Every structure is written in C-alpha cells, then in structure tokens.
Structure 1
Amino acid sequence: MNDILTSAPHQAARPETPVELAAVSRPRLTTLRNIIATWREQTRFRWDLKRISEDNPHLIDDIGLTKRQVEEEIAKLPFWQR
C-alpha cells in the first residue's frame, strides 16, 4: 500500500511510525491553509478595489486610499483578472 496517501493520524497509530511525524505535519498543514486563506483574502480585496474604482471611484477617498495606491494593488492581481 502507498504510505503517501495515508493521513498523519493513521500513520501515528502504526507502531513503525514515530508520533513526532504526525505532530509535525499537522502544524505545517495548518500553516499552509493559513497562507492560502491569506492569499484568497488579498485577491478578494484587490478584486473589490478594482470593482469600486471602476463603478464608484469617489468611494476610494472614503476608504482612505489614493488612486495610485489602488492602481498598485490592482496591478498585483493575476494578469487574467486585471
């Protein structure tokens, strides 16, 4: 059987797998999930800025940003979303 596809808790239950392996892999997975969630939040924020700057440019001043700051953030979007 392929050990790569088994999850960390199941591996920790096996006598040949050290418990430390399962303890280390869980925080790494949590960190990876947090990084991906942060990327998604940033992308959503930039997408909203783009929409606001196109539909209601006067609202940019209300949120405390300059037009240049908004353009710099929008430039960070992937090219297919700009």
Structure 2
Amino acid sequence: MRPAVSPTELSGPFHALATLRGRIAAWRERAYFRWELKRIARDNPHLIDDIGLTKRQVEDEIAKLPFWQR
C-alpha cells in the first residue's frame, strides 16, 4: 500500500522522492505476490482454482522477472 503524501510534498524533490518510494513499494509488492503465488502453487495447488486463475496464468506470472533481470 502506498504511503499518503500531503499536498505540500507534491512539488520539487519531495515529489520525486515520493514517486520513487511509490515505485519501489509497488515492485516489492509484486515480487512478494509472485513469491506467495509460487508457494501456493507448490504447496496447495487446489487453491489456485479458488482464486480464479488457471495454471497457465500462474506459471506466466511466476516466470516474470524484475525489469533489471530481463
């Protein structure tokens, strides 16, 4: 979840820092989601159907690499 930013922080270096922090947080959330999805697929594959994904969708999502590893 992205941290709240006050309107006074939306200009100059504060805005750039808030944007960078938001992007890093999003990258971390995606990495954690993929790690958790991989764990669920390995340990409890029947739960994949419960969350509405196909095995192919899960495999595709797990296979995604961070942009710096492409």
Distance in 1, Cα, partners of 2:39 & 2:50: 15
Larger Rg: 1
Mapping of residues 12-31 of structure 1, within 5 Å: 23-31=11-19
Mapping of residues 1-82 of structure 1, within 5 Å: 23-77=11-65
- How many residue pairs were aligned? 56
What are the ranges of 5 or more consecutive residues in structure 1 without an aligned counterpart? 1-22
What are the ranges of 5 or more consecutive residues in structure 2 without an aligned counterpart? 1-10
Q: Percent identity?
A: 70
Post-superposition, which runs of at least 4 consecutive aligned residues in structure 1 deviate over 6 A? Answer: none
Distance in 2, Cα, partners of 1:53 & 1:42: 16
TM-score (normalizing by structure 2): 0.76
RMSD: 1.1
